[in-house]
Amino acid sequence: MSYPKLDFSMQELQERFQQQLEMELNNTVTIESVESAKPLTPQAIKAVKLRGSGAAEEGRAAVQPSGPVGEMQGSVG
């Protein structure tokens, strides 16, 4: 199927494009993330507080192995 070539000026094409864009933008729905709407659990609140206070870094430093990884013996689990 072929369509006839219509003789639109650049001005008319720009106006029609703008009308089409506005119509599409008006019919666009934005949905906020479900993840961001979840309430924080007490454990998550504690983690945020630890991260903000620097206690999390101190805790991580306490569990770091003292020697190279190859020298670690035993397993946890």
Q: How confident is the chain (77 residues) per 10-residue block, as mean pLDDT?
A: 87 95 86 70 88 65 56 50
23 lies in some domain: no
Residue 31's pLDDT is: 76
54 lies in some domain: yes
5 lies in some domain: no
Count of the separate structural domains present in the chain = 1
55 lies in some domain: yes
Which two structure tokens, joined as six digits, stand for 77?
A: 């689990």
Domain coverage including residue 49: 38-62
Residue 68's pLDDT is: 54
Q: Is the dihedral of CA 49, 51, 55, 56 positive or negative?
A: positive
Residue 10's pLDDT is: 93
51 lies in some domain: yes
Q: Which residues contact 47 (CB under 8 A, 6 or more apart)?
A: 56
48 lies in some domain: yes
53 lies in some domain: yes
